[in-house]
Structure 1
Amino acid sequence: MRHRSDGTLVFVARSDRQIKLSGYRVEPGEVEAALRELDGVTDAAVVRDGRSLLAYVVPETCVADELRAALHAVLPGYMVPARYVPLPALPRTLNGKTDLGALPRPPVSRPGVQEPFRTPQERALAEIWREVLDVEEIARTDDFFAVGGHSLSATKMLARVSDVLGLDLPLRAVFETPVLAELADRLRHAPQALSRRVPPAPRDRPLPLSFVQERIWFLQQLEPESTTYNVPRALRLRGRLDVAAIARTLDDLEVRHEILRTTFPEIDGEPFQEIGEPRGIPLTVVDGDEGLLHEFILAAGQEPFDLAKGPLLRVTLVRLAADDHVLVVVEHHMVHDGWAQGVFLRDFLELYQAHAGGRPPCLPELPVQYADFAAWQRRTFQGERLRSLTDFWRARLRGAPTLLSVPGDRPRPEVLGSRGGEETLFIEGPLARRLREYGRDHDATLFMVMLAAFAVLLRERSGQEDIVVGSGIANRQRPELENLLGMIINTVLLRVDLSGRTSFPEVLEQVREVCLEAYAHQDMPFEKLVESLRPPRSLSHTPLFQVMFNFLDTPMPSLVVPGLDVEVLNAHNRSSKFDLNVVVIPHAGQRLGLVSGPDAPERIAVLLEYNTDLFTVATVRGLLAEYLEILTESVMP
């Protein structure tokens, strides 16, 4: 232990060597050994404290920040304790071992919450964390991921940093220094952020499609009657329902979101966005039968849309009983993505409650509309910025296999259809909790853990070690895009090299690095990447990747509505855009309405959509069973 000239304490290791680690699993004994190696620490004990580690340190003089900084120099971040308790001596059992049961419990209140922030950067960053993570208290010693953060919220947080503080940090910085005080310190040396705000687009000329809309439009022209890009959703409403308020709510939604009154006609073969005047979204009310509800939802999702004429949203209210209704909403992907589902539900429920209760609605202002985003995207991704992104992805994908072939039940046809099915796996109890803990222990997110296990499954089934999967990314880094409806999602390619990686920690480390690289270059529009790479075209499979792996953890509103019991039903239109499409839902009980109980938020759902030209139900269920086995063997002690 040394003293700086300013009086602060510095803990240093007694030797120049790094502490040797036995793999990636956190063993408290290894952390204790690292603490005892620090000059000025005579004894230490480390125990698990919920999601993190708690360290008891002798002598009593204990400066947590300096201890934490010293440990970061010799240990990976996931092994550094979050809390430190000074003791004059450790309690011992009769045989001389540390008596863990006799260690005093620290105060119930979270550590550091009462400790004042030391710099303006810490205060500003804490306020941003409170908003993004929706928590009341943030301490300067808090770890971003330990208090509920993940990759998506980290991206949102950095966008706020750019807007509020005018500073630019890479996403990797959050993984390398997730503790608020340390991340705030990095802000002192961060470069100035470039303004990327989305401005309103002029409405006196034809409005372009976004890149992803253009691709979907083109595919729809090839098969005008296809319903592959139809998105059905269903909301069960039990209780006294105000049908007139439902109708007024739909009308207000059309006024609020231009994309709901947008069509896509052509000029000389080129599509453009045409924003119509509000005319009201028709609400069809029908009597239904509980036993036929599933078939009704399926049929509603399989009715084609006309992109040039619209509307691209249909709403039907199925009356099962006087106090039991199901709202069936079908949208085309030209106006919808996974993030927009939460936005639509929040706006719908707030507007309904306002109309039913006779009060004005309380919704955030929309500074821009979807057409503004599309025009901004077209202007932004060109020239040097597009070349730089293209160069990265060209290098990253050089030599990648063009086909990931998971053996199915039928030969791959020359023209692959789009008929699909879906099977669901629920993960709960100790395994669900352990998957989250394992990610935190290895400086990885739950998404990375789940993807690593799926990559192992793909290797075992396909025999390939060079694996490329697609993954949807929200693409809403800008705060002004968060409350918009519309198709904004982007696709990134995750290329995982499993050659020579025999242990799961090795696979996870590789997946983590691949994901961080991809997130740092996520702005590359997938459609421009395909255009640049010009992969061989085949009607038997999609270009660049055939397996999709998604993580549905976008914000969802509260479903608490006075007088109504609201439940989100799972809906599918029996189509598939890829060979396999995995959707991991980390809080299935809150989102799907398929599970309930006090532990529902901890339950993880894995939805596996598959192409029925290639796979049978039995094979897909076998894939899910093997996936569950790999997850269990990889993370359970």
Structure 2
Amino acid sequence: MSFRKNHIEELLEELRENKIHISLGDDVLKLKFNGTKPAPVLIEKLKAHKQELLGFLKDKENNQIAKVEISDTGYPLSSSQFRLWIISQIEKYSISYNMPFQIVLEEEINASLLEKSISSVIKRHESLRTVFKKNEEGEIQQWIITPEALNFELNVIDVSLKEDAETLANKTIKEDYYVPFDLENGPLIRCMLLKINEKKWLFYFNMHHIISDGWSIHIFSRDIMQFYKSYAEGKTPVLPELSIQYKDYAKWQRIQLKTAENKKDKAFWETIFSDEIPVLELPSHQARPNARTNNGHLLRMYLPESETKNINTYISGKGGTLFMFLIASLNTLLYRYSGSDDIILGTPVAGREHLALENQIGFYVNTLAIRTKMNAAMSFNALYNQTKQHILEVYAHQKYPFDQLIDDLKIKTSINRNPLFDVLVILQNFTNSKNTEEFKVKNIGAVESYGAVASKFDLTFCFAEIGGLLSIDLNYNTDIYNDDTMRELLLNYRKLVQQATNSEALNIQDFTISLEVIKEETVSTTDKKEYDDFLEKINNEMSDDF
């Protein structure tokens, strides 16, 4: 039996879910992983298809990213950067793309060495020294600031002598979450070191998404710690040289848009969205705002170990991955809520298929729009198999920039919705190294509140399998949905998963859910006319630039 491309994609998806990275090294397949070693069955799959994977990686390696010539008039933006720059022209939206992160350090920290380490990472990665402004021709460009001009300083705050020091430190950090960045003048990164006591510090940083992504946060943290360790030991830091910088990738991406392979990707996506684009309407007590807002709230629920095992047993029996099950089950839930048999869900992918991007900091993440057409009489099994096949096809065409797709489809921008979809689904690839006893969770199966957060979409589902439990975070926009409705939605999702794994032949129309909280019809809204000129300007700029 031949190892067809969709089989490669299925194996790569399994590696992604297990947080395993493969690369090429002198005709050898190299593995990188965090935490526990890959399962023996997965190692056997890699051995069985080693030659096919080597060929796959060699094809990707041959497409080199060239360095661009140094310019004093700026550099082009990537497609994703350009759209984010457009969104960020509306000040209240820019806060949504702040990326705050904090690390607890349980050891004595030398603040001056940490500042030196961060400065070294900023010098290493040009993206951390990038600002965005127009050139003399009025074109938006990215500009690289020298380390000297940036003059980075670490904000060191000692709260160790204060009453309830840790609460005060977290309050200080939370206040920075919502401070907007100045894309034109920068810097687009802020760092704080807060001293709780001699043996406990909080290292906090916040970056704008236009220069970073989730993968980049890991690279940033890792590089800092490598520099810090070397400086603390009095050694000269030695990190592998970066072959390219983000500006090189942005130029390379534009070239890729003209290749034959890219034309195939474009044709695939245009076929998927060739007919009328569905709009998901979920029941709500609140009228949708006239313009998008970023006011969100985070709820969390853990599925018990037995129910998580049932999901994995179902997947093992049917083939596929956890992500495929999540998409199929969420579509079933949203179908039961809305009655819509045509649903689009968004999901982010790393966007780092090229080997040169593995250790880069920058906005590489791409978004995939997964469209599912269902019928009421199909079984969950049928929906799962359909979802599995479609996701494999989607992954085979994942390099095509989502932002370019939006331009290709010429979707009329609506100021109170996101383009193509309003529900985002994320599967975090955490290492599942803890058992249930080590990973202690109170109130398993209950829905708990984790407070106010920024919200980019109507709903964002974030899943992670950790400690034998499936964690489900739901970030919902509080200007569209209320707390009771969203708590009920999560509990209904748990009930639906139970039915899917216990009665897999059940038709999706026959899944039972409770809608006690929903008493009123969904309220529709209309766009504000005063934004029309601005939106037309945005659409024109996008058409002209790409």
TM-score bucket of the superposed structures, by smaller chain: 0.7 to 0.9
Match of 1:584 among 450, 463, 485: 463
Call closer, same or farther: CA 1:531–1:362 in 2, change over 3 Å: same
Trace 1:167-566 onto structure 2 (pairs within 5 A).
Answer: 179-180=45-46, 182-184=48-50, 193=59, 195-204=62-71, 206-223=74-91, 226-267=94-135, 268-279=137-148, 280-288=151-159, 289-382=165-258, 384-500=260-376, 502-553=378-429
Amino acid at match of 1:201: V
**C-alpha contact 1:410 1:613 (8 A) present in aligned 2:** yes
Call closer, same or farther: CA 1:188–1:362 in 2, change over 3 Å: closer
Amino acid at match of 2:98: N
Amino acid at match of 1:272: Q
Mean Cα deviation higher: 415-424 or 285-294: 285-294
**C-alpha contact 1:585 1:606 (8 A) present in aligned 2:** yes
**C-alpha contact 1:231 1:333 (8 A) present in aligned 2:** yes
Aligned residue for 1:417, secondary structure, equals coil
| Cα RMSD for the two superposed structures | 3.4
For residues 299 and 458 of structure 2, what CA distance do their matches in structure 1 show? 14
**C-alpha contact 1:232 1:573 (8 A) present in aligned 2:** no
Call closer, same or farther: CA 1:244–1:535 in 2, change over 3 Å: same
Aligned residue for 2:215, secondary structure, equals helix
Q: Displacement, 1:441?
A: 2.5
Q: Deviations over 1:124-144 (max 9, x none)?
A: x9xxxxxxxxxxxxxxxxx96
Q: Displacement, 1:178?
A: 8.3
Q: TM-score, normalised by structure 2?
A: 0.77
Structure number with the higher helix fraction is: 2
**C-alpha contact 1:150 1:445 (8 A) present in aligned 2:** no
**C-alpha contact 2:294 2:477 (8 A) present in aligned 1:** yes
**C-alpha contact 1:452 1:508 (8 A) present in aligned 2:** yes
For residues 620 and 425 of structure 1, what CA distance do their matches in structure 2 show? 12
Give the structure with higher Rg (CA): 1
Q: Displacement, 1:264?
A: 1.1
Call closer, same or farther: CA 1:548–1:225 in 2, change over 3 Å: closer
**C-alpha contact 2:320 2:388 (8 A) present in aligned 1:** yes
In structure 2, list runs of 5 or more residues that go unmatched.
Answer: 30-42, 160-164, 433-448, 504-546
Amino acid at match of 1:265: K
For residues 429 and 491 of structure 2, what CA distance do their matches in structure 1 show? 23
For residues 145 and 535 of structure 1, what CA distance do their matches in structure 2 show? 32
- Residue 474 of structure 2: aligned partner: 608
Q: Percent identity?
A: 28
Aligned residue for 1:550, secondary structure, equals strand
Q: Displacement, 1:515?
A: 0.7
For residues 573 and 542 of structure 1, what CA distance do their matches in structure 2 show? 21
Amino acid at match of 1:264: F
Amino acid at match of 1:197: Q
| Number of aligned residue pairs | 462
Q: Displacement, 1:384?
A: 4.0
Aligned residue for 2:363, secondary structure, equals coil
Q: Displacement, 1:471?
A: 0.9
Call closer, same or farther: CA 1:209–1:576 in 2, change over 3 Å: same
Q: Deviations over 1:68-127 (max 9, x none)?
A: x8xx9xxxx9xxxxxxxxxxxxxxxxxxxxxxxxxxxxxxxxxxxxxxxxxxxxxxx9xx
Q: Displacement, 1:316?
A: 1.1
**C-alpha contact 1:338 1:552 (8 A) present in aligned 2:** no
For residues 542 and 441 of structure 1, what CA distance do their matches in structure 2 show? 36
Amino acid at match of 1:459: Y
Call closer, same or farther: CA 1:385–1:612 in 2, change over 3 Å: same
Amino acid at match of 1:220: S
Trace 1:70-109 onto structure 2 (pairs within 5 A).
Answer: none
- Residue 52 of structure 1: aligned partner: none
Call closer, same or farther: CA 1:352–1:488 in 2, change over 3 Å: same
